[in-house]
Amino acid sequence: MPLVTTTEMFKKAYNGGYAVGAFNVNNMEIVQGITEAAGELKSPVILQVSKGARAYANHTYLVKLVEAAVAENPDIPIALHLDHGDSFELCKSCIDGGFTSVMIDASSKSFEDNIALTKQVVEYAHAHGVVVEAELGTLAGIEDEVVVESGKESYTRPEEVEEFVSRTGCDSLAIAIGTSHGAYKFTAEQCTRNEEGILVPPPLRFDVLEECMKKLPGFPIVLHGSSSVPQEFVKMVNQYGGNMPDAVGIPEEQLRKAATLAVCKINIDSDIRLAMTGNIRKYFAEHPDHFDPRQYLKPARQAVKDMVAHKIKYVLGSDGKI
């Protein structure tokens, strides 16, 4: 099947109590690792491209890689999504250039300015058969050029979501309930420590999610900043010459719970980076004489595939849902 929008995916996910994974893609190995896992598990999947990814790999290369993945996996629904679009022009360029979904992230603007920009993108996108994700509330962490310190984030205000959605006409809404971008989602002060000294983060604000669900029955909610920062990868990075002390993510069981509620799209990027970096570091340490990129990118691609397969089966619950 050709690239799809997220409309059908989200309807099925909402009613089925699971979520679709939205994984960031920056090169061929990442596209292959994600879609091989989704293809084998018969799972829908969203491949998302950030402004930074476009600057790194070039729009056309990324679209062609995704088209190749669609051709190789004809049975599964694949959507191509712009992650954190920050202007009308960027969204328009992706809509005109073959994306089936865009995010306009005006969450750092005032409520009224967020509505005005989102509405402008929605009008153009819908006229071209493309769906739009918007955001209310701010996450901690780094989103392209916007940096929000841990503790300075603001949760979504449930009393605003209904007006926002009805005035903008957006198709899904990213909300802030305590997730955060990057591999350092919480400061040590925000966490407790377990017996092994590993940081245990504060729980997500399910009360905020449930309030938003009540205001928007049946409407798909999106969670950004949802990497779990698996400690096996952090240990691997640190064991083979890296230095990532106190990297911490969102516990998988909390994401699983969110997926059974209104959360239909769960964004994962940092876990891909960790899986690749841990395995490449290990490979270099064990094979100091190797220099063919295919040698070290092969285990990195396999690690992405295994990690995505784990998420699909045990976190998202989207296996077999095509």
Partner that binds at residue 227, options ligand G3H, ligand 13P, Zn ion, none, CB closer than 5 to 8 Å by kind = ligand 13P
Give me the catalytic one of 75, 83, 269, 292.
83
Question: Cβ closer to ligand 13P: 87 or 162?
Answer: 87
Spatial neighbors of 79 by CB under 8 A, at least 6 apart, are 3, 4, 5, 6, 9, 44, 45, 46, 47, 100, 101
Structure tokens, 241: 């010459």
With CB cut-offs between 5 and 8 Å by kind, which of ligand 13P, ligand G3H, Zn ion, none does residue 52 bind? ligand G3H
DSSP codes of every residue in 213-229: HHHSTT--EEE-S----
Partner that binds at residue 29, options ligand 13P, Zn ion, ligand G3H, none, CB closer than 5 to 8 Å by kind? none
Site for ligand 13P in 268-287 (CB under 6 A): 268-271
Taking CB under 6 A as the rule, does residue 6 contact ligand 13P?
A: no
Residues in touch with ligand G3H (CB under 6 A): 24, 50, 52-53, 83-84, 143-144, 181, 269
Q: Are 21 and 311 in contact (CB under 8 A)?
A: yes
| Tokens 């879609």 -> residue | 35
Q: Please give the torsion angle defined by the CA atoms of residues 156, 157, 159 and 164, in that order, rounded to the nearest 10 degrees.
A: -50
Q: Indicate the Cα dihedral angle 168, 115, 80, 264, nearest 10°.
A: -70
Using rule CB under 6 A, residue 181 touches ligand 13P: yes
What are the residues binding Zn ion (CB under 5 A)? 224
Please identify, among the stretches 31-39, 85-93, 112-120, 222-230, the one whose residues bind ligand 13P according to the rule CB under 6 A: 222-230
Total count of residues recorded for the chain: 322
CB of 52 or CB of 169, closer to ligand 13P: 52
Is residue 132 within 8 A of residue 220, CB to CB? The reply is: no
- The least CB distance from residue 62 to ligand G3H, in Å, is 11
Nearer to Zn ion, 185 or 281 (CB): 185
Cα–Cα dist 320/56, whole Å: 33
Binding flag, residue 172, ligand 13P (CB under 6 A): no
Name the 3-class secondary structure at 289.
coil
Question: Could you give the CA distance from residue 33 to residue 162 in angstroms, rounded to a whole number?
Answer: 38
Question: Per CB under 6 A, which of residues 252..271 are in contact with ligand 13P?
Answer: 267-271
Annotated active-site residue 269? The verdict is no
Residue numbers at the binding site for ligand 13P (CB under 6 A): 24, 83-84, 181-182, 224-227, 267-271
Q: Active-site residues: which are they?
A: 83
